[in-house]
């Protein structure tokens, strides 16, 4: 059974998504146990994939083939091929872990804000569909399946954005649907251009063809695909939708949306490193420039915000910019040592962003749960009511701002030193961004947590929500104090997988 783990890790949450609505008829408790068990099983499959990659190295799984490890059993058919390497296994593990944590956190939160019942059933189904989409995007080895799973994440997340069923939630969901439709359209257009030339959809097979003949049409297709993915991950100048959406979505879903953006970054890296690697210098510089712009605009716009979630949303744009800076430098300096180091920093920052920004959104959700407010000026003195939440905020604040000894510092330090070799100005932008980020969160901390005790109604934060936030915080501290754990165990295999486009093609061809 475990040989089919690459397929099962996607199929299981997909099945559980549809089944959970039916199981919900038996009672909310049974449904929750079902969803939790499904997520736990999916998590175990994701762990197995990581262990398998450590032992076997990169391998392919072909759906429907007699021998699943053979990607081309009869010529080169149009078949769904999943490619498992250090990077895709890491992304799958991250997506499942965050979703599992988010589900545990959201149980009581959803009971309160939605009143349980059918809306909670819908929530569970959509969360599982969202996860299946992210896993598919992470593991797929062909363009069309990528498009299908991207659509799956877009539709499920748009429904989750409208979850609160208020005017402003509907507006945010409507904007998100328009953006998703445009994103899908341009991606499909780019994929169509490639298919029209080579009659292929498999990424490795297309990369193999492009080595011999890189045409003008390939350049246009590259531009369309890259632009579509940049829209999906919310890079500047196409980041505005992200703020509208993150402000209105439940905090547990915002954490998943952040993870979805990070999966988008993975897809961008996969396409640029493994398919269009002959254009790496140019695309690398492009990603570096957009990443730098994202840092500047994201952090400067976070500063004047008056809503906690909107402010964290802008901070997330800046943090995605840091990842782009690392990955772009990795592309621009592909054959150099500094490029490899920058890529390590970028990949490490993907993990750190999921934890740091995830924690900040969970804290914002807890504040909303306790007070019913997210407006910064309406809050104050929360530290007197919940010391635990204040400590968690300080940990998250220092980690996001890249202050030692937390995890964000390590990945940012690696990036500052390596991007300096590409251009010293990039390091200056990175450091300036971190300073401004700290000033953003210091202001929020003083506004929301300090001052005279909060006078309004303050609901006790449930243990399940607090426990999940503390797990995030402990992981932040652990990766800050022992960064070698992540760098050696998760980041290095991922970087090798991205740089080894020959191995990637060799597995399929």
Partner 1 sequence: MISTGMGSWSPLVFLICVAFISVVVQIIRSLGEGGFRKEEDKAEAFFSGGRLLIKNRVMDVYWGFFDAMGRYYGWMKRMHNGIVNDYVYWFVLLVTVVIGVVILL
Q: Is the Cα dihedral 344, 151, 221, 237 positive or negative?
A: negative
CA 82, 225, 268, 194 dihedral sign is positive
Q: Which of 358, 382, 376 is nearest to 459 (CA)?
A: 382
Q: Any contact of residue 222 with partner 1 (CB under 8 A)?
A: yes
Based on the shown chain and the rule CB under 8 A, indicate whether residue 56 belongs to the binding site for partner 1: no
Given the complex with partner 1, which of 44 and 289 has the nearer CB atom?
A: 289
CA distance 489 to 487: 6
Q: Which of 8, 83, 126, 230 binds partner 1 (CB under 8 A)?
A: 230
4: left (phi over 0), alpha (psi -120 to 50) or beta: alpha
Kindly state the smallest distance separating residue 32's Cβ from partner 1, in Å: 36
Q: Are strands 81-84 and 59-62 parallel, antiparallel or unpaired?
A: antiparallel
Nearest CA among 91, 141, 411, 420 for reference residue 266? 91
Nearer to partner 1, 51 or 446 (CB): 446
In the complex, what is the shortest distance from the CB of residue 36 to partner 1, in angstroms, rounded to a whole number? 34
Question: What is the nearest approach in angstroms of partner 1 to the Cβ of residue 147?
Answer: 17
Residue 356 binds partner 1, judged by CB under 8 A:
no
> Residue 446 interacts with partner 1 (CB under 8 A)?
yes
Cα gap 361→308, rounded to integer Å: 9
CB of 417 to partner 1, least distance (A): 4
Which range, of 135-143, 365-373, 414-422, 459-467, touches partner 1 by CB under 8 A?
A: 414-422
For residue 167, state whether it binds partner 1 (rule: CB under 8 A).
no
Of 188, 278, 189, 297, give the one whose Cα is nearest residue 239.
Answer: 297
Nearer to partner 1, 125 or 352 (CB): 352
Among 27, 115, 237, 453, binds partner 1 (CB under 8 A): 237
Helix (H, G, I), strand (E, B) or coil at 74: coil
Q: Which stretch binds partner 1 (CB under 8 A): 223-231, 251-259, 362-370, 457-465?
A: 223-231
Q: Which of 49, 91, 94, 231 binds partner 1 (CB under 8 A)?
A: 231
The residues in 65-104 that bind partner 1, with binding defined as CB under 8 A, are: none
The reply on whether position 121 binds partner 1 by CB under 8 A is no
Assess contact for 508 and 204: CB atoms under 8 A. yes
Closest CA to 357 of 261, 286, 221: 261
Residues in contact with partner 1, shown as a per-residue x/- string from 278 to 317 under the rule CB under 8 A: -x--xx--x----------x--xx-xx-x-----------
* C-alpha span between 453 and 458 (Å, rounded): 11
169-198 positions binding partner 1, by CB under 8 A? 174-175, 178-179, 182, 186
Task: Return the number of the residue (111 or 417) whose C-beta is nearest partner 1.
Answer: 417
Q: In the complex with partner 1, which residue's Cβ is closer, 96 or 410? A: 410
List Cβ neighbours of 424 (8 Å cut-off, separation of 6 or more): none
> Are 491 and 484 spatial neighbours (Cβ–Cβ below 8 Å)?
no
**Of positions 264, 358, 483, 493, contacts partner 1 by CB under 8 A:** 483
Residue 59, classed as helix, strand or coil, is strand
Binding of partner 1 by 227 (CB under 8 A) = yes
* Interface pick for partner 1 out of 15, 338, 458, 470 (rule CB under 8 A): 338
Residue 363 vs residues 308, 370, 467, 472: alpha-carbon distances, Å? 10, 10, 12, 11
Q: How many helices (H) and strands (E) would you count in the chain?
A: 21, 2
Nearer of residues 11 and 421 to partner 1, judged by Cβ = 421
Applying CB under 8 A, the span of 48-56, 113-121, 219-227, 356-364 interacting with partner 1 comes to 219-227
Taking CB under 8 A as the criterion, the residue among 18, 424, 482, 506 binding partner 1 is 482
In the complex with partner 1, the residue whose CB is nearer, 89 or 313, is: 313
* Cβ 24 to partner 1 shortest distance, Å: 34
**What is the DSSP annotation of 323-378?**
HHHHHHHHHHTTTSHHHHHHHHHHHHHHHHHHHHHHHHHHHHHHHHHHHS--BGGG
Distance CA 472, CA 463 (A): 14
Rounded to the nearest 5 percent, the helix, strand and coil shares of the chain are 80, 5, 15
Cβ atoms of 391 and 476 closer than 8 Å: no
Angle between helices 86-114 and 337-371 (to 10 degrees): 10
Which of 136, 321 has the CB closer to partner 1? 321
Q: Residue from 451, 458, 462, 471 that binds partner 1 (CB under 8 A)?
A: 451
Query: Per CB under 8 A, does 32 bind partner 1?
Result: no
Query: Contacts with partner 1: how many residues (CB under 8 A)?
Result: 59
Residues of this chain that bind partner 1 (CB under 8 A):
174-175, 178-179, 182, 186, 216, 219-220, 222-224, 226-227, 230-231, 237-238, 240-241, 243-244, 279, 282-283, 286, 297, 300-301, 303-304, 306, 337-338, 341-342, 376-377, 404-405, 410, 413-414, 417-418, 420-421, 439, 443, 446-447, 450-451, 480-484, 487
């Amino acid at each position: 059974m475990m040989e089919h783990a690459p397929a099962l890790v996607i199929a299981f949450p997909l099945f559980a998504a549809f089944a959970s609505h039916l199981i919900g008829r038996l009672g909310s408790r049974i449904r929750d146990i079902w969803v939790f068990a499904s997520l736990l099983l999916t998590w175990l499959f994701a762990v197995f994939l990581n262990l398998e990659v450590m032992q076997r190295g990169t391998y392919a799984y072909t759906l429907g083939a007699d021998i699943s490890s053979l990607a081309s059993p009869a010529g080169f058919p149009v078949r769904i091929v999943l490619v498992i390497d250090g990077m895709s296994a890491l992304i799958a593990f991250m997506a499942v872990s965050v979703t599992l944590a988010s589900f545990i956190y959201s149980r009581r939160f959803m009971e309160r804000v939605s009143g349980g019942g059918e809306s909670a059933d819908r929530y569970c189904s959509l969360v599982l569909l969202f996860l299946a989409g992210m896993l598919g995007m992470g593991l797929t080895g062909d363009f069309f399946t990528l498009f299908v799973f991207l659509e799956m994440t877009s539709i499920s997340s748009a429904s989750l954005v409208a979850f609160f069923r208020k005017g402003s939630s509907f507006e945010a969901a409507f904007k998100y649907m328009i953006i998703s439709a445009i994103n899908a359209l341009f991606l499909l257009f780019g994929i169509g251009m490639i298919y029209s030339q080579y009659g292929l959809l498999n990424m490795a097979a297309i990369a193999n063809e492009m080595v011999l003949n890189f045409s003008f049409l390939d350049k246009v297709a590259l531009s369309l695909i890259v632009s579509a993915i940049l829209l999906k991950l919310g890079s500047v100048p196409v980041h505005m939708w992200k703020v509208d959406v993150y402000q209105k979505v439940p905090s547990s879903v915002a954490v998943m949306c952040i993870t979805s953006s990070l999966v988008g970054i993975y897809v961008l890296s996969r396409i640029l490193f493994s398919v269009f690697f002959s254009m790496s210098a140019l695309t690398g510089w492009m990603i570096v420039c957009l990443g730098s712009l994202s840092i500047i605009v994201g952090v400067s716009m976070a500063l004047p915000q008056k809503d906690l979630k909107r402010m964290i949303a802008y901070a997330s744009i800046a943090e995605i910019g840091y990842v782009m800076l690392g990955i772009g430098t990795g592309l621009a300096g592909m054959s150099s040592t500094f490029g490899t180091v920058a890529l390590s920093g970028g990949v490490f920052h993907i993990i750190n962003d999921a934890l740091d920004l995830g924690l900040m959104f969970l804290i914002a959700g807890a504040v909303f749960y306790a007070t019913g407010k997210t407006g910064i000026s309406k809050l104050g003195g929360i530290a007197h009511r919940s010391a635990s939440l204040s400590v968690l905020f300080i940990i998250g604040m220092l980690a996001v701002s890249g202050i030692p000894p937390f995890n964000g510092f390590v990945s940012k330090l690696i990036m500052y030193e390596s991007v300096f070799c590409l251009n010293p100005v990039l390091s200056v932008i990175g450091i300036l961004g971190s300073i401004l980020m700290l000033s953003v969160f210091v202001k929020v901390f003083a506004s929301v947590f300090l001052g005279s005790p909060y006078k309004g109604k303050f609901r006790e934060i449930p243990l399940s929500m607090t426990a999940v936030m503390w797990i995030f915080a402990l992981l932040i501290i652990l990766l800050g104090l022992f960064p070698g754990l992540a760098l050696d165990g998760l980041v290095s295999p991922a970087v090798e997988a991205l740089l080894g486009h020959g191995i990637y093609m060799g597995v399929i061809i």
